[in-house]
Structure 1
Amino acid sequence: MSQHVSEITHRSVASPGGRIHLVEQGSGPLVLLVHGFPESWYSWRHQLPALAAAGYRAVAIDVRGYGRSSRPAATDAYRLLDLVEDNVAVVHALGEESAVIVGHDWGATIAANSALLRPEVFRAVGLLSVPYTPRGGPRPSAVFAGMGGEEEFYVSYFQEPGRAEAEIEPDVRGWLAGFYAALSADTMPGPDAPDPHFVGKGGTLRERFPAGRRPTWLGEDDLDVYAGEFERTGMTGALNRYRNMDRDWEDLAPFDGAPVTQPSVFIGGGLDASTTWLADAIEAYPVTLPGLVSSHVLDGCGHWIQQERPAEVNRILTDWLSAVTV
């Protein structure tokens, strides 16, 4: 591996919300990597060197509200329209006209909408864990409120500013360890255990996390990185993404049912609720992702897909990139 591939560079660039922190490795066609909740650029630590070695300029950002990127105070500053424009600003700040964009979890939704709204900038899109579902149907808050019966869906639990923060922030490191474990293949609760995606009446998410179990992909040093960032920033910027789902539904009304037509790839985890609950969305890909090059569901894999199965994800991404980039 040549010297320029092995070096990781940190910097910040101007964006509509202030600035975006990014980590860059390699040279070649630009591949923009967008993380999900509750993570950071560090979620792509296994992909940056692999993509760089394959001849790409791999750039992982801290999404607005996370890490070393700006954290605007207004709750409505975290709508998808704003996050798309952050991504456009990053591409242009790096001296490029266009990029391939790849996202995981919320990052997958941000990536898909970046491709939908700014197709002249984002020429191909990779989605990890969360399938593309076009805008449509009832208001999201109404849908989530109707889930779970007596229990409360975690997305609803996250809506009220300060509520989830009060659970998480007194012990960020412990909460993150439990949350990561709850959605990892090797530590997630069994099918008969209470579902960690729901909160019992008067309860917390944390009480359903696996106690004292650490996923194999999450070392002490890795947890230190994630916890250190959220201990410094607090959780509000990250949680504000959930608090804009109704605004997104309103903002994206002109794109109701719209397909993402660029070349695309999907990678899901066979044990990940984000993939299994949205199986109908995957089946709809011939209509919603007409440019789909390949779709993969990794058996026995949980939610943190590029960290649980880095070698497989790297192989799929580099194969796909070789087919869609020049």
Structure 2
Amino acid sequence: MSQHIGEITHRSVSSPAGQAGRGRIHLVEQGSGPLVLLVHGFPESWYSWRHQLPVLAAAGYRAVAIDVRGYGRSSKPVATEAYRMLDLVADNVAVVHALGEESAVVVGHDWGAAIAANSALLRPDVFRAVGLLSVPYAPRGGPRPTKAFAGMGGDEEFYVSYFQEPGRAEAEIEPDVRGWLTGFYAALSADTMPAPGAPDPRFVSRGGALRDRFPTGRLPAWLSDADLDVYAGEFERTGMTGALNRYRNMDRDWEDLAALEGAPIPQPSLFIGGKLDASTTWLADAIAAYPVTLPGLISSHLLDGCGHWIQQERPDEVNRLLTDWLAALPA
């Protein structure tokens, strides 16, 4: 359906849902032209792309932001294993086809970057280019993920390990979703993150809670009370389990994707990260390996003074980089 640039359309489309039957993916679309599929991370929603949708539409693209399975108005299967990477890639393919398209550019942030990368790897017939925000591409490899994460932090527990046990993180977050989200967003934002040398908010003291180290007192500059209302309202309605189940499938993904050990992504690609984001500092070796792992890389950027929520912290800069990259892609 073609539409004026100013119109935002919400709808749901059918998607695979494993043995339980068919599910749905909620999406928001704006504009007409080549399809650009936008995939959010944790703990976010389609709303994370609110600054990109009108700009991409104005640039002549059909911009579509989804609620990833487990979030917002999309289906939330009960089974933990229903959130494995193979299912999320299948959802992306289903969205492209449900929109009447044969191919798309896929752009992801945070977990969405991993979903976008694997979509490009597994379905190069559908995803002709891939953009990665905040989390660099690192090919499948190394030890079993839960084993690797369990070895981090010494006497402290890495947040990914903390998220593994069903119900544990939910018991911390769900009694005060708005307060927890405020702290989590602030902990990874350039203007509110803890000072260098302060206890790392990505680690949990034994017997403690993740929020114990979150900054308090003010919202990040990019996050208004109205924006927070949107995010908190969604998670207060849905709960956190669907979102957290992504983390609980990392070992399954490691097994499912064994055939992709060390695989490069050959399609045209883009990376944008924040210099103050731990995702780019911890994974600096992955960025350095891009000549091998992303041989189709067109441009790579690290934004000074920027944290993790890159397309919301620096929307104008990210929009310019995105539209310049899209314009440079082969037709």
| Pairwise same-fold verdict (TM > 0.5) | yes
Match of 1:153 among 142, 149, 158: 158
- The amino acid across from 1:254 in the alignment is A
2:26 corresponds to: 21
Trace 1:230-309 onto structure 2 (pairs within 5 A). Answer: 230-309=235-314
Q: Distance in 2 between matches of 1:324 and 1:3?
A: 24
Match of 1:55 among 57, 60, 74: 60
Trace 1:30-179 onto structure 2 (pairs within 5 A). Answer: 30-179=35-184
1:11 corresponds to: 11
**Shift in Å at residue 103 of structure 1?**
0.1
The alignment's C-alpha RMSD in Å is 0.9
Q: Which runs of 5+ in 1 are unaligned?
A: none
1:30-66, Cα deviation, whole Å (9 max, x unpaired):
0000000000000000000000000000000000000
What is the SS of the residue equivalent to 1:228?
helix
1:90-135, Cα deviation, whole Å (9 max, x unpaired):
0000000000000000000000000000000000000000000000
Q: Distance in 2 between matches of 1:233 and 1:325?
A: 40
2:315 corresponds to: 310
What is the SS of the residue equivalent to 1:116?
helix
Q: Distance in 2 between matches of 1:51 and 1:147?
A: 40
1:1-25, Cα deviation, whole Å (9 max, x unpaired):
x970011000000000200000000
Q: Distance in 2 between matches of 1:88 and 1:279?
A: 30
- The amino acid across from 1:190 in the alignment is A
Q: Distance in 1 between matches of 2:251 and 2:202?
A: 20
Q: Distance in 1 between matches of 2:316 and 2:67?
A: 23
**Shift in Å at residue 325 of structure 1?**
4.7
Are 2:3 and 2:32, in contact at CA under 8 Å, matched by a contact in 1? no
**Shift in Å at residue 212 of structure 1?**
1.5
1:254-300, Cα deviation, whole Å (9 max, x unpaired):
11000010000000000000111000000000000000000000000
1:124-181, Cα deviation, whole Å (9 max, x unpaired):
0000000000000100000000000000000000000000000000000000000000
Q: What is the aligned-residue identity percentage?
A: 85
**Shift in Å at residue 192 of structure 1?**
1.6
What is the SS of the residue equivalent to 1:214?
coil
**Shift in Å at residue 211 of structure 1?**
1.1
1:191-223, Cα deviation, whole Å (9 max, x unpaired):
121100000010011010001121000000000
**Shift in Å at residue 323 of structure 1?**
0.6
> Structure 1 residue 192 and structure 2 residue 191: aligned?
no
Are 2:39 and 2:46, in contact at CA under 8 Å, matched by a contact in 1? yes
Are 1:269 and 1:297, in contact at CA under 8 Å, matched by a contact in 2? yes
Are 1:19 and 1:70, in contact at CA under 8 Å, matched by a contact in 2? yes
Q: Which runs of 5+ in 2 are unaligned?
A: 18-22
Q: Distance in 1 between matches of 2:26 and 2:64?
A: 10
Q: Distance in 1 between matches of 2:219 and 2:232?
A: 14
- Deviating above 6 A after TM superposition, structure 1's stretches of 4 or more consecutive aligned residues are none
Q: Distance in 2 between matches of 1:3 and 1:278?
A: 40
- The amino acid across from 2:119 in the alignment is S
